[in-house]
Amino acid sequence: MNLKIACIQYDIEFGNPQANFERVSKEIEKTMSQHSPNIIVLPELWTTGYDLTRLNEIADDNGEETKLFIKNLAIQYAVNIIAGSVAKKTPEGVTNTMFVFNKSGEIIGEYSKLHLFQLMDEHLYLQSGSEKGFFTIENIPASGMICYDIRFPEWIRAHTTAGTEILFVVAEWPLPRLEHWRALLISRAIENQCYVVACNRTGSDPNNQFAGHSMVIDPWGSIVAEAGTESEILISEIELGKVQEVRKQIPIFQDRRPSFYK
Ligand SMILES: O=C(O)CCC(=O)C(=O)O
């Protein structure tokens, strides 16, 4: 089975959800008319950016506005959407949360970032999630990860030992650590023998310049597609059969010795 995937990497407007909703609506319209993918992926915190000090004002109450907006687009274009992540206001605080919609507009996944990134003050303004990132998309077991999560191979392993074949990563990854981004994503694909589909943002905010370089990597670790540092729609086609092929050729999931890893 082949799937066409579009990662929409763009320059998020700092602290301006309305402008970002409008931008994403136009980008999805363009993506669908030019490429008709099966799945669209957006970056991390795409409604607000890292405007953390104003989250109380601009975070989305229980994610309701985002969910309605994405649901309508998914139905209108009959497309699955990994809706990056957004600042979701809950009674316990604000989480950095991914919503996943299928092409009928049903919500099929929700994941809140587990590892908060202290270098960008996330721990001061955000609450960590506590659930795994599993969902099933087009009958394929998949998982969502958010940015800093990719530095924790044990977290990702907890998803791939349970069957994940595609790892969707959404990010606001800064340019000075571009080579970490590339190396970590390629490593996660090789060691887990899964597809990695990673969507990063471009541009800058008052504190950081971001790397772009959204990437799609196959289970052998080969790069299927990679964007540059500017805004673009990165299109790729993935062949799901490759996951089982690679897992058969080098059977790491059978050869693991977890009793020695404690
Ligand atoms: O780990 C890194 O270097 C970047 C992480 C990050 O920017 C984030 O989690 O938002």
**CA pair distance 17, 14, nearest whole angstrom:** 8
Q: Which residue of the set 7, 147, 194, 199 is catalytic? A: 147
**Whose C-alpha lies nearest to ligand 1, atom 3?**
177
Q: Is 92 a catalytic residue?
A: no
User: Tens place of pLDDT for every residue, the chain, 262 residues?
Assistant: 899 999 999 999 999 999 999 999 999 999 999 999 999 999 999 999 999 999 999 999 999 999 999 999 999 999 999 999 999 999 999 999 999 999 999 999 999 999 999 999 999 999 999 999 999 999 999 999 999 999 999 999 999 999 999 999 999 999 999 999 999 999 999 999 999 999 999 999 999 999 999 999 999 999 999 999 999 999 999 999 999 999 999 999 999 999 999 9
Cα 171 to ligand 1 centre (Å): 7
Predicted confidence at residue 204, as pLDDT, reads 98
Query: What is the 8-class DSSP label of residue 50?
Result: T
Q: Is 242 a catalytic residue?
A: no
Residue 56, CA distances (Å) to 59, 93, 248 in order: 6, 9, 49
Nearest-atom index, ligand 1, CA of 117: 9
Q: Is 147 a catalytic residue?
A: yes
Cα 65 to ligand 1 centre (Å): 26
Q: Is the four-CA dihedral 218, 212, 13, 22 of positive or negative sign?
A: negative
Pocket test of ligand 1: the residue of 50, 120, 169 to mutate, having most ligand atoms within 8 Å of its CB, is 120
Q: Any residues with CB less than 8 A from the CB of 196 and at least 6 apart, and which?
A: 166, 167, 169, 185, 186, 188, 189, 215, 216, 217
Across-strand partners of 232?
9
> 232: how many CB neighbours lie within 10 A of its CB?
15
Predicted confidence at residue 136, as pLDDT, reads 98
Predicted confidence at residue 164, as pLDDT, reads 98
Predicted confidence at residue 1, as pLDDT, reads 85
**Whose C-alpha lies nearest to ligand 1, atom 9?**
148
Q: Which residue of the set 67, 71, 113, 242 is catalytic? A: 113
Nearest in space to 35 (alpha carbons), one of 241, 237, 224, 238: 237
Predicted confidence at residue 59, as pLDDT, reads 98
* Contact predicate 216/240, CB 8 Å: no
* Contact predicate 84/43, CB 8 Å: yes
User: Ligand 1: does its nearest atom lie under 6 Å from the Cβ of 169?
Assistant: no
**Whose C-alpha lies nearest to ligand 1, atom 5?**
148
Domains of the chain from N-terminus onward: 2-260 (3.60.110.10)
User: Ligand 1: does its nearest atom lie under 6 Å from the Cβ of 148?
Assistant: yes
**CA pair distance 14, 12, nearest whole angstrom:** 6
**CA pair distance 188, 194, nearest whole angstrom:** 8
* Contact predicate 201/43, CB 8 Å: yes
Predicted confidence at residue 169, as pLDDT, reads 99
Describe the crossing of helices 153-160 and 178-192 by its angle, rounded to 10 degrees: 30
**Whose C-alpha lies nearest to ligand 1, atom 2?**
148
Dihedral angle over CA of 118, 119, 125, 130, nearest 10:
-40
> 137: how many CB neighbours lie within 10 A of its CB?
20
**What DSSP line would sit under 71-131, residue for residue?**
HHHHHHHT-EEE---EEEEETTEEEEEEEEE-TTS-EEEEEE-SS--GGGTHHHH-B---S
